[in-house]
A and B are shown apart, each in its own frame.
Chain A
C-alpha cells in the first residue's frame, strides 16, 4: 500500500450535511471492473443528469476545484453500505484525503486499507475550513499526517485520526503481511477450538 505522509493539493468544500456511500457511488456501477477506473462514478447522481450529461453545476465540477485531492464535507461522511467501491471512486478520481466531522466506521476502515486518510475535524473548525476554501483565490490545503495538522496560508487546524490507523497510513503497511507473522498463534487458536468447541469449526 502507498504510504500517506504529507499532501498538498486542491481541496473542494462539499456543503452537504450527510454523504452516504450510496451517494459516493450508486450501486448500479459496482458490477463494473475496477480496471476501468471508478473515478467517473464518484458522486455520480449529484453530478450527472438522468441522460448521463454532466450538469456542471456540482461543486466538484467547478473549474476552480479541478484536480482536487482533498474533499471537505460539512458533516458526516461515508455512512451506510459497506461498499469499498466508495473508496475506489474517491481514489480513482484523485482524492487522497477526506475531512469531515464524523465517518462511518466501515468507511474509515476501508479508506485506511487503501491509503486514503479520513481526517476528523470538529466544529467550529470545520466551518472555518469550509469558509476559507470557498473564499480562497486558489483553494488548496496542506495535510501533514505525522503532525496531524491541516494548513492553508496562515490557517492551521488540527485533526483526529485513530493512532493505529495513523501508523498504518504513515508506513503503508499491508494487513495481510502483518497477520501472516501470527500464523502460529492462529493455528494454536484453531487447535484449541477443535478440542473444546468443535461446532465452531462445523465439526459435529
Chain B
C-alpha cells in the first residue's frame, strides 16, 4: 500500500485519532495531561458532575503559576495558599501525582515535563497553559487549552479538535555569536505578526534548527503561540533521542527500541505539502528586543522605536497608546532606553543553558539595577548551583530565587511597580502582565544580562571581553 507523503504533523495527528465525525471534528487521545494550581475551574466542573479523573496515571499536577519564589515552603498569601492546597487535595482525591512546592522535582511545568521524560516524541501533551507549545521541540503534538477543555481531558482523556493548517518555517544558515533561539523567535513573530500563524501548526525545519540544542528548540517552540500558532513541532533527531534516553519516565531497554523505531518515522516526507511556507536566514538575525506592548513589536537592538504614520489611523492610534504606556519617544534609538529592573526566568528562558548564557555576560561584572533570577526548575537550580552560576548572579547583585512562573505573569506577587521598566527573558510584553503599569522589554538571557550591566538596552556583542 502506498500512502501520500505526509508532514510530521500529519503523522502526529493521525496517530492520535480516536474517531472523526462527518463534519471533520476529531476526537484525539491525550497521552499526557499537566494541570497546575490555576486549573481549579476545571476541577470544579468535575465536582459539578460528580465525575472522576479518567486516567490519573497520565495526569500530573505541578504547582508553578502562583507559588512563591522566596521563603518556602511557607506561602504568605492566604488566597494563593488556598489554591496550592486545593491542587494537593484534588491530587489526593483523584489519585494523580502531584509535584508540589516541597517536591525536589518542582518547577515550571514546561521545564519539568521534558526533564522527567514525560514529554516524548510522538506524544500528544496538553495543559491549561498556552505555552504548552514548548513541548513541540521534542516532536510532540502539544498545545494549550482552556478550563473547559481541561475538564474534558480530565473526564475522558480525549479532546475534540479540528485539524489545523500546516505551515513550515525553514531556517537556513546559522545563528551568529550571542544570537539565540529567543532572537530567532522574536524575529519570526515580528515577521509573521502576532496573529500571523493563527489556525496553523508551525513546523520549524532546516539546518539552523538542526543545529539548535534541545533547550533552544524549547525556547523557539514556546514562543510560537505569540505568533498565533497554537502549537509548533520540530522533527526529533539524534539530539532529541539523546536528551530523552535515561529520563525517569522515558521508555527503558525493553520498549526503547520499539519507541525509537516509531520516533525515527516522525519526519516530514519528501513531497509533503504545507498550506504555507516561509524561509528565514538565521545568519541575518541580530539580537532582538521588544519596544511595545505586543511580542510582534520587536526589532534588532541596532534599530529604533518606530515613528507615527498618519496614513494608517488604526496603526497610529495603536502606536500612540503603546508609546504612552511604555514611556517612549517615537524614533528614539532602542539602546537609549534606560532599564531599572531585570528578570531572568520563565518557561521561555530559564533552563540551564539560558542561565549559563546570562552568567557568561555577568561573570566579573556588577549589575547597575536590581533583578531577580528564577531558575526554571529545582533540577536546573541544583545544576546551576553545582556550577557556581548562582554565585555569579549574586556577586553581580541579582537575587537568586526558587523556581516558578514568577515575574513572567506576576501571579505570585513577583511584580514590577507602576512605571518600572524591565529587561525580561519572558514571553509577553502585554500591558500590566508583569504588574499594573509595569513596562516589559522582551529579550534573550544574554541581552537581559547586558542590560543589567549597563542600565540600558544594549547589544551584548558590544560589551568588552573581560580578561581572566
Determine the chain A residues whose CB is within 8 A of the CB of B162 once the complex forms.
162, 164
Q: Is B147 an interface residue (CB 8 A)?
A: yes
Query: Per a CB cutoff under 8 Å, which of B130, B251, B317 touches A82?
Result: B130
Q: Which residue of A lies closest to B160 (CB)?
A: A175
Q: Is B148 an interface residue (CB 8 A)?
A: yes
Q: A53: shortest Cβ distance to chain B, in Å?
A: 13
Determine the chain B residues whose CB is within 8 A of the CB of A87 once the complex forms.
146
The listed residue with most B CB atoms (<10 A of its CB), out of A26, A76, A85, is A26
Pair B318/A200 contact, Cβ less than 8 Å: no
Pair A179/B41 contact, Cβ less than 8 Å: no
Q: Mark A90-130, 1 if CB is under 8 A from B, else 0.
A: 00000000000010111001100110000000000000000
Partner-contacting stretch, out of B25-33, B213-221, B268-276, B457-465: B25-33
Pair A182/B19 contact, Cβ less than 8 Å: yes
The listed residue with most B CB atoms (<10 A of its CB), out of A82, A109, A186, is A82
Determine the chain A residues whose CB is within 8 A of the CB of B160 once the complex forms.
175, 178-179
Interface of chain A: mostly helix, strand, loop or mixed: helix
A162 to B160, CA, bound (A): 14
Determine the chain A residues whose CB is within 8 A of the CB of B242 once the complex forms.
none
Pair B410/A27 contact, Cβ less than 8 Å: yes
Q: Is B58 an interface residue (CB 8 A)?
A: yes
Q: Give the contact-size bracket for chain B.
A: 35 or more
Pair A179/B23 contact, Cβ less than 8 Å: no
Determine the chain B residues whose CB is within 8 A of the CB of A114 once the complex forms.
148
Pair B29/A189 contact, Cβ less than 8 Å: yes
The answer to whether residues A17 and B318 also contact, given A26-B432, A84-B147 and a CB cut-off of 8 A, is yes
Determine the chain B residues whose CB is within 8 A of the CB of A80 once the complex forms.
130, 225-226, 428, 430
Q: Is B129 an interface residue (CB 8 A)?
A: yes
Determine the chain B residues whose CB is within 8 A of the CB of A105 once the complex forms.
198-199, 228, 230
A37 to B69, CA, bound (A): 29
Determine the chain A residues whose CB is within 8 A of the CB of B314 once the complex forms.
17, 74-75
Pair A202/B57 contact, Cβ less than 8 Å: yes
Q: Is A61 an interface residue (CB 8 A)?
A: no
Query: Per a CB cutoff under 8 Å, which of A17, A22, A76, A185 touches B430?
Result: A22
Q: Is B168 an interface residue (CB 8 A)?
A: no
Q: Is B401 an interface residue (CB 8 A)?
A: no
A182 to B315, CA, bound (A): 48
Instruction: Count A-B contacts at CB 8 Å.
Output: 165
Pair B23/A164 contact, Cβ less than 8 Å: yes
Q: A30: shortest Cβ distance to chain B, in Å?
A: 6
Pair B149/A113 contact, Cβ less than 8 Å: yes
Determine the chain A residues whose CB is within 8 A of the CB of B25 once the complex forms.
164
The answer to whether residues A76 and B128 also contact, given A20-B430, A164-B25 and a CB cut-off of 8 A, is no
A76 to B430, CA, bound (A): 14
The answer to whether residues A31 and B318 also contact, given A26-B436, A79-B194, A201-B57 and a CB cut-off of 8 A, is no
Pair A179/B317 contact, Cβ less than 8 Å: no
Q: Is B38 an interface residue (CB 8 A)?
A: yes
A74 to B312, CA, bound (A): 13
Determine the chain A residues whose CB is within 8 A of the CB of B302 once the complex forms.
none
Determine the chain A residues whose CB is within 8 A of the CB of B424 once the complex forms.
none
Pair B146/A82 contact, Cβ less than 8 Å: yes
Q: Is A3 an interface residue (CB 8 A)?
A: no
Pair A76/B194 contact, Cβ less than 8 Å: yes
Q: Is B254 an interface residue (CB 8 A)?
A: yes
Determine the chain B residues whose CB is within 8 A of the CB of A204 once the complex forms.
251-252, 254-255
Q: A171: shortest Cβ distance to chain B, in Å?
A: 13
The listed residue with most B CB atoms (<10 A of its CB), out of A22, A74, A85, A110, is A22
A80 to B440, CA, bound (A): 15
Query: Per a CB cutoff under 8 Å, which of B23, B31, B148, B255 touches A84?
Result: B148
Query: Per a CB cutoff under 8 Å, which of A84, A163, A164 touches B146?
Result: A84
Q: Is A23 an interface residue (CB 8 A)?
A: yes
Q: Mark B294-336, 1 if CB is under 8 A from A, else 0.
A: 1000000000000000000011011001000000000000000
Query: Per a CB cutoff under 8 Å, which of A110, A163, A176 touches B147?
Result: A110
Q: Mark A190-204, 1 if CB is under 8 A from B, else 0.
A: 100100011111101
Pair A106/B230 contact, Cβ less than 8 Å: yes
Determine the chain A residues whose CB is within 8 A of the CB of B129 once the complex forms.
81-82
B136-162 interface with A by 8 A CB criterion:
144-149, 151-152, 155-158, 160, 162
Q: B243: shortest Cβ distance to chain A, in Å?
A: 16
Pair A106/B146 contact, Cβ less than 8 Å: yes
Q: Is B94 an interface residue (CB 8 A)?
A: no
Determine the chain B residues whose CB is within 8 A of the CB of A85 once the complex forms.
41, 147
The answer to whether residues A45 and B145 also contact, given A82-B128, A164-B162, A182-B18 and a CB cut-off of 8 A, is no
Pair B230/A45 contact, Cβ less than 8 Å: no
Q: A60: shortest Cβ distance to chain B, in Å?
A: 16
Q: Which 7 A-B pairs have the closest CB atoms?
A: A110-B146, A113-B148, A84-B146, A84-B147, A199-B251, A82-B144, A22-B430
11 A-B contact pairs sorted by A residue (CB < 8 Å): A20-B428, A31-B82, A45-B436, A79-B195, A82-B128, A105-B199, A179-B27, A193-B29, A199-B120, A199-B259, A202-B57
Interface residues of B (CB under 8 A from A): 18-19, 23-25, 27, 29, 31, 38, 41, 44, 49, 57-58, 66, 79-80, 82-83, 120, 122-123, 128-130, 144-149, 151-152, 155-158, 160, 162, 194-195, 198-199, 225-226, 228, 230, 249-252, 254-255, 258-259, 262, 294, 314-315, 317-318, 321, 409-411, 418, 428, 430-433, 436-437
